[in-house]
Amino acid sequence: MSNPFVGNWAYRSFLNDPDISKAANDLLFGEGTLAIVEQSAIELSGTIGGPGWSLDLRGSFGYGLPMQVRFQGKGVVGGEEWMYDYIGWLVPVWPTAPTCWKCRRSSDRWCARSRIRGDGGSTNPGGVMASFYAVRAG
């Protein structure tokens, strides 16, 4: 069985904010490309990034229903160390839909900024939570 997480993915994440009055565009946290390769029977590596940023990925995946992926992204962007933790599940395949995967539920905190960036402050605190999805990009 080939690893369904391996490949290139279009990625978008949105802040987990319960304020329904906020416009969806105001919740966009990140977007870019995930490039995932298989390192071993259970290990993954790759990159995640977009214009002006890139993180190296290390992680694993697990078989089950649904299959699970978990990785950590690390890198230096604009002189600051970035570190994020991700966990996601493969969405069941629909006959007429593209392959995709996503985080489970926003309340379960599946995409998290692992450490404070720079001096912290209100825009760079550790523990920022977001939900993401990824769609196969070829």
Strand partners, 43: 60
Residue-wise pLDDT tens for the chain (138 aa)? 578 889 999 988 898 888 999 999 999 988 999 999 999 988 999 999 999 999 999 999 988 888 888 999 999 998 888 888 888 888 766 666 655 555 433 223 345 555 555 554 445 566 778 888 888 886
Let me know if residue 2 belongs to a domain: no
Q: pTM of the entire structure? A: 0.77
Longest CA–CA separation in the chain, Å: 48
Nearest by Cα to 113 from 74, 78, 61: 74
Structural domain range at position 20: 7-136
Number of domains in the chain: 1
CATH of the domain at 43: 2.40.128
- pLDDT confidence of residue 74: 92
